[in-house]
Structure 1
C-alpha cells in the first residue's frame, strides 16, 4: 500500500498484508537488528490475526476493517516516566482525529471514543531501551461487523477512512507530544502533556466504576489525573479520593 505522508514521518515504514501482533513483531524485529529498525520505525497492517489489548486480552477484527499500527520509540526520558506513553498515545490519536473534524475523546487510560463508543484501543509496551506503541483503529468496520454494541468505526461515524491520512495524523501528534516531553526531561506537567491528556479525557468529571486487577471496584467521580498519570476517583459521600494506576473504567449513566 502506498503511504507517502506516513513514509515521510517514519524512519522506516513497512506494510504487511497480514500480521499476527504488530507490537510483538516490531519488538522482535528491533531486538534482532536494531540498526535496521531505528526509533520511529512503523509497522502496519489492516489484517491482524493475533492482536492484543490491555491486560493480555485478545483483539480481533474482520480483514481490511481496522488498522493495526505499531511505532517504535526510544524516548529520552527517565524510565519511571514510561507509564505516560500509554496516555500520550491515546491523546495523540484523539487530537489527530479532532483535527480531521471527528469528535473524539479518551476514556482513561487509553481507549478513544466517539459519542461514548470505542473506535480505537492503544497499548504501550516497554522494550529494552525503548517502547512500542500500538493502535488498533476501526476505520472501515461496518455496523454489522461490530464486535460489541459499545464499539464504532470511522466509517460508521462519517469520519475519514484513508489509511495514510489516519496513520500520518497520529504520527504527527505523537512526534509533537514526545518531543515536548523529551524537551522537559520527561516532566509531564512542565511539558504540557498533563494538560493535553486532561484536555482530551472525557472520564474526568464523570461518575465511574473502576474494576481493579484484584477484582475489587472503586465507584465515584473521576476528579482528575495525577502528576503520575493515575486517575483520581473521589467518593463525594465520604470525601475520600483514590488514585488508581491500573483498572477497567466504566462510565456510569446511573448509579
Structure 2
C-alpha cells in the first residue's frame, strides 16, 4: 500500500523536487491539487492517495476503489506551451504510465487518448485538467489512476469483462515502484517545462497506441459520430480517422474499438 513515506521515496528516486502530499482517503487528488495550484504551488507538486471517494475519470465518470487496491496520483505541471498543445502533456502521462505498467510485467498499451489497457481491458487512465488564463496555459493537473491489486471478483459484474488490474495480468502490483517509474518517465518526456513536447512524446506514444490500425467509432465532444480506421496520431495529439468521406481529425472524444 502507498504511504506518505513510499510516495516521497518514489518522487525522490524519480528526481522530482516538488512538494509531496499524501492522504489516506480523499475525495479526488485532482481536486486537492487544483486547489494547491491556484494557491501558487510549484511545478512538480505531487498529491497521492490511498483511496479516493469522488475520483473522476474521463467524461465525468466516477473512479473509486477499496483502500490499497489502486494507485491514485496527481501531478502539477506549469508548461510553457500554447493551450492547443496541452493534449500532448496528457499523452506524455499516458505513455509514461503505460511504460511503468510494462515495467511491472504487464503487456500494457495506450488506447487513444488517455487510457492504459491490457488484454483489451482498461487498466488505468489519465484525467488532465488545465487552467487557461486569457490566451495562456497557466497549469495542468495530471490525474492518473491504475488498478493494482484487484482480483476478478473485486470488480462489479458489469466491469469484469471491461476492467483489469496489474495483479490480474500477472504483474507486480506494488504501487510504490510503479509510481517511481511513472514519475521518472513523465519527467523525461516532459523535459524543460514542456518545450518541444512533440519531439519527445509522439514517437513513443504512437509506438504504444493500440488504437492505430483499428476500426473505430469516435463520438466527438459535440456529439458527432466518426466511423473509420484509425490511421495515425497527428502532430497535436489528434486521432486521424480514415472515413468514407476522407480523413477526419478527432481532437477530443470517446473512442470505441470496433474490431
Q: TM-score if structure 2 supplies the norm length?
A: 0.88
* Secondary structure of 1:47 counterpart: strand
Asked whether the 8 Å contact 1:107–1:203 carries over to 2, the reply is yes
Alignment of 1:243 onto 2:249 = yes
What are structure 1's unaligned runs of at least 5 residues?
none
Asked whether the 8 Å contact 2:105–2:170 carries over to 1, the reply is no
Alignment of 1:5 onto 2:17 = no
Residues 29 and 140 from structure 1, CA distance in 2 versus in 1: closer, same or farther, beyond 3 angstroms? same
Alignment of 1:19 onto 2:17 = no
User: C-alpha separation between the residues in 1 aligned to 2:77 and 2:202?
Assistant: 20
User: C-alpha separation between the residues in 2 aligned to 1:197 and 1:180?
Assistant: 19
User: C-alpha separation between the residues in 1 aligned to 2:148 and 2:104?
Assistant: 13
Larger RCO (alpha carbons 8 Å, 6+ apart): 2
What are structure 2's unaligned runs of at least 5 residues?
133-137
Per-residue CA distance 1:7-44 (angstroms, 9 max, x = gap): 44332112210010100111102222x2xx32111111
Q: TM-score if structure 1 supplies the norm length?
A: 0.89
Report the Cα offset of residue 239 of structure 1: 5.9
Count residues in correspondence: 244
Per-residue CA distance 1:213-240 (angstroms, 9 max, x = gap): 34332111100011121101112xx361
CA-atom RMSD, angstroms? 1.7
Asked whether the 8 Å contact 1:7–1:13 carries over to 2, the reply is no
Report the Cα offset of residue 162 of structure 1: 1.4
Paired position in structure 1 for 2:107: 103
Asked whether the 8 Å contact 1:19–1:47 carries over to 2, the reply is yes
Asked whether the 8 Å contact 1:67–1:139 carries over to 2, the reply is yes
Residues 158 and 180 from structure 1, CA distance in 2 versus in 1: closer, same or farther, beyond 3 angstroms? farther
Alignment of 1:145 onto 2:154 = yes
